[in-house]
Structure 1
């Protein structure tokens, strides 16, 4: 079955889809949560293109289409549901969906256990499909449709503008990596105090955390000399944290300051309330707090004006959108109470990155300190390079026998809990043959969020390795080529003046769903491969050697002075005006950011919100009076 969608449009309350089909297929809307199909009315035929339309006002009898996620799909033929063999013959990509569904019926600890998966019979697998008899793999979309998705959102206001019924098209990928569209229909009620989500469980949690922290700050005196390194998405320090803390000790700061560290992973299952209270207590006692990456506790509390909270962001600027750069997409931060808004400062590699990270963190450019990355202070030291090379050569003797390719992609998904990589894009057999033919060793170094590692069978184990638990920085020194995708890790590698290859077979899907800040085709400092065939050819022929990165790519990498840690310490801890670190304001000295605490800004916000609500109420009443 195949259905090609050429255009999607709204006409008043009608949703219209122009499509063509080679086998008479028609589009449907299907809601998984309701297990309900809604048909389109098929009208018109011109040059082989049909039009399907649905009046949302009559989407459920004499009511509007119910709220929920409605997938544009085809209905599975009843004849294909008599046997698993018939189903797979009719829909060749269905086995991947069935395997995914079976695994997610198992307890989390058994989802990677093939023996447990094999216990499900053909009848049970067929029943899983019959429960939701829709398929998206046969529906494709013209590029123009996907490029215009942002213009297809629809808002239907009613009830004197106090309520809204909204439709938003959300791109997704199925288990085969193919794009499909879901229409999210939702009902909203006007909130006069948008900073406070009424009747929300999460808002209740925030209120409890904030109240608890407020009590702690009053009962527990803050230690003016305490420095805290806090991480909530892993059990150990990042390289940036390690470098900055080591430099503090080298400078003897541990004699004047109480330097503490707290590392834990809040995404690893249910969290004990005692652990959260310990986080709050440590913050309440600290004058300076350094974090690296997303730290959820600051979604709930404002540390206060007497705390300097610094984000020592570990990454350079890759291609994927993060933070507020993906505002409105699934997993994007809250417009008001996001941890990113709490930062007093954030470190960036150089002054060119201020504008980008101002968008990412949703903070003013003056709060971004161009110190460089602490973890790169000794990156180019000959002594360090020699030490890392020898360490890796001792652990992996094969690294000196041929070309070494390190594959370090970023994750797919919205965050740590949903992170994955589509290994189906890689043909291990062909990859291995290329390695043998070209005397190459291929290393997987997967993002630490990705729990499922590549499946490397014994027959490939002499040429293909999973070294995800090793330091990527150390692997750089034995790598002859780096392969990545939307990650920023290539910036460090460029400093070694080695080639980078970008393997992006899901480029369109990734840019639609996750979002990208910059076009990889226009900005990537190396060969961009859209298919596995192209990727293998580039590696086999060493075509990457003919592509030199643009000088601007090197300029955007971290500075080479080796003083990033000292710049951060002197600026943040000692309050010095280090040249080049702060953004210059009006040509006079360095501008210092002002971060209002919740308490100090509360009265101002409340007054403004009350004023806005009164004006809005007046406008609404006037408009409704005119309509009546």
Structure 2
């Protein structure tokens, strides 16, 4: 039985749902932590149209609905919970959830072992569902309602406005990738000093870091000629970092500047104190600091007015929301103490991206330097292209035999490195392999480096489907005939080669609601868009992507410049030269001269 909810509204303490249904069926709120149901009561019906209400003031009897995440759902009938076969006969789609829950109960070493998972399911049986007998399957939401999800929140103030009780509708996805809504009830207390989180363990950590850093800057003199490349989400430089360092050495800057590098991954597990102190000391001694991507140490400290901190952001421009463009969503940055607020400058691919990245980093447009991407300095150099292509052909000779090479490079789902994943269930390996055989193609997975779980490619398909996630995506571009991505910005580089891009986005609605998109993929994607796997196979089988040409505005204008992006960044940041087009200044502002001349 299907239900479509097309209206959600608040009336005093009542939350009201308007929906259509194939037949009379109750809707409930369910909270996993307390394993508790609270019912909606139908107050009006007309044919297949219903209106149901729930009074949150009486959600706990004579108390308000307790704090926590309450899922809008059905309640599974007790008679279906007699055994697993009975349950799956009535609700076969629950198999995905059962398998997921069984897998979670296994040791990490066995979580990809199908036999171990099957044994765990036999052992636990229907108890996997009995513990939480709710069901979100078949409850859908109208597109109009989902587009207004940010406007459905409700705040109840009390205690002379010192306290608040709030209801926030949060979009989620179930194990089948379907969107459902949860009502998150929250209690808040007014904080007179919002820059500080009163009584917070996180705030105490920030205070300690800030104090230690302050002491270091007083005791240890800052090296006026020191340049530091700092990265905290990996053990090596990004391509932007490597390009900028390489250019500094090519220009002989290492003779007058002390160029240092510090790379480590703070997301790889519990971190010890000494490496953090090492980060603080490296920052305290540096005059110029370059970071690429999120660098959490700057959530805790302000490097100081005598430090130039530059974010050399590796991405061109994609569709997914990052930074403050996600403000209010899970994983969004602190409005005050955020690393993004600390940047003196941030690099962008061209002047048209200033507005976008001003929102992303929460800094003024004047702080964005339109230098172009350093990693693209030699991207279109014929010598580089021949070298990369030959290197790839030497390693993967099958790519040079006139076969079509499809490179699949999607971004991750989740809020960050610790929670990153990709929903491989969206890909039918059997059909993918058949398409490769029939069209004489190779399909290459190149997964985001945050995603730890790699695609499970059946051994019999390994001659056509390959996982090359440890390979350089940039180098793979030169043997690829078509790039497949989703919300990633990797197409930004690939378009410079004049090759086609396909966007495979079966979770488009869920992704835009939960992760957030900064630009509509339907309106802005410079290539063919596939919403379903059927569409995806059809586009690849018949090469329908060949007729879709990207708008010229999608291509990085920085590539048209005669000057290297690395030189533009070095001259503007280190030497303070007035590089044409890099800075955004009022027309009458005086030119900035080189202080070393």
1:153-179 deviation digits (Å, cap 9, x = unpaired): 000111111111000000011111000
1:535-591 deviation digits (Å, cap 9, x = unpaired): 111111111111111111125565453511111111111111111111122442469
| 1:93 paired to 2:118 | no
Contact kept in structure 2, 1:3 and 1:26, CA below 8 Å: no
Partners of 1:591 and 1:352 lie apart in 2 by 22
Give the aligned partner of residue 330 of structure 1.
330
Give the aligned partner of residue 533 of structure 1.
534
Give the aligned partner of residue 450 of structure 2.
449
Q: 1:566 to 1:238 in 2, by over 3 A?
A: same
Q: 1:12 to 1:407 in 2, by over 3 A?
A: same
Matches within 5 A, 1:477-516: 477-516=478-517
Q: TM-score, normalised by structure 2?
A: 0.97
Partners of 1:589 and 1:127 lie apart in 2 by 73
Give the aligned partner of residue 431 of structure 2.
430
| 1:194 paired to 2:187 | no
1:492-535 deviation digits (Å, cap 9, x = unpaired): 11100011111111111111111111111111111111111111
Partners of 1:54 and 1:11 lie apart in 2 by 10
Q: 1:152 to 1:112 in 2, by over 3 A?
A: same
Residue 182 of structure 1 aligns to a residue in which SS? Answer: strand
How far off its partner does 1:226 sit? Answer: 1.1
Residue 420 of structure 1 aligns to a residue in which SS? Answer: coil
Q: 1:544 to 1:505 in 2, by over 3 A?
A: same
Partners of 2:226 and 2:373 lie apart in 1 by 23
Give the aligned partner of residue 311 of structure 1.
311
| 1:572 paired to 2:573 | yes
Matches within 5 A, 1:219-618: 219-401=219-401, 402-555=403-556, 558-561=559-562, 563-589=564-590
How far off its partner does 1:77 sit? Answer: 1.6
Q: TM-score, normalised by structure 1?
A: 0.92
Deviates more, 1:192-201 or 1:38-47: 38-47
1:173-230 deviation digits (Å, cap 9, x = unpaired): 1111000101010010111100001011111111111111111111111111111111
Matches within 5 A, 1:43-58: 43-58=43-58
Residue 497 of structure 2 aligns to a residue in which SS? Answer: coil
Contact kept in structure 1, 2:68 and 2:185, CA below 8 Å: yes
Contact kept in structure 1, 2:504 and 2:531, CA below 8 Å: yes
How far off its partner does 1:359 sit? Answer: 0.4
Runs (5+) with no aligned partner, structure 1: 593-628
1:19-74 deviation digits (Å, cap 9, x = unpaired): 23325321100011111110111222113111111111111101111110000011
Residue 388 of structure 1 aligns to a residue in which SS? Answer: helix
Partners of 1:270 and 1:558 lie apart in 2 by 41
Contact kept in structure 2, 1:228 and 1:288, CA below 8 Å: yes
Give the aligned partner of residue 179 of structure 2.
179
Residue 335 of structure 1 aligns to a residue in which SS? Answer: coil
Partners of 1:558 and 1:578 lie apart in 2 by 16
How far off its partner does 1:288 sit? Answer: 0.9
1:217-249 deviation digits (Å, cap 9, x = unpaired): 111111111111111111111000001011111
Deviates more, 1:268-277 or 1:552-561: 552-561
Partners of 1:589 and 1:400 lie apart in 2 by 55
Contact kept in structure 2, 1:17 and 1:52, CA below 8 Å: yes
Give the aligned partner of residue 59 of structure 2.
59
Deviates more, 1:110-119 or 1:248-257: 110-119
RMSD: 1.5
Partners of 1:223 and 1:112 lie apart in 2 by 51
Give the aligned partner of residue 160 of structure 1.
160
Give the aligned partner of residue 139 of structure 2.
139
Partners of 1:125 and 1:190 lie apart in 2 by 47
Residue 487 of structure 2 aligns to a residue in which SS? Answer: coil
Partners of 2:156 and 2:306 lie apart in 1 by 46
How far off its partner does 1:3 sit? Answer: 2.3
Partners of 2:565 and 2:280 lie apart in 1 by 29
Contact kept in structure 1, 2:577 and 2:592, CA below 8 Å: no
How far off its partner does 1:92 sit? Answer: 1.9
Q: 1:329 to 1:217 in 2, by over 3 A?
A: same
Partners of 1:557 and 1:525 lie apart in 2 by 18
**Paired residues, number:** 592
Give the aligned partner of residue 77 of structure 1.
77
Residue 87 of structure 2 aligns to a residue in which SS? Answer: helix
Contact kept in structure 1, 2:441 and 2:464, CA below 8 Å: yes
Contact kept in structure 2, 1:406 and 1:445, CA below 8 Å: yes
Partners of 2:590 and 2:535 lie apart in 1 by 51
Partners of 1:250 and 1:216 lie apart in 2 by 33
| 1:28 paired to 2:28 | yes
Deviates more, 1:514-523 or 1:100-109: 100-109
Residue 516 of structure 2 aligns to a residue in which SS? Answer: coil
Partners of 1:116 and 1:219 lie apart in 2 by 58
1:69-116 deviation digits (Å, cap 9, x = unpaired): 000011112122111122222222212212222232334454334454
How far off its partner does 1:258 sit? Answer: 1.2
Partners of 2:354 and 2:20 lie apart in 1 by 47
Residue 120 of structure 1 aligns to a residue in which SS? Answer: helix
Runs of 4+ in 1 over 6 A off after TM superposition: none
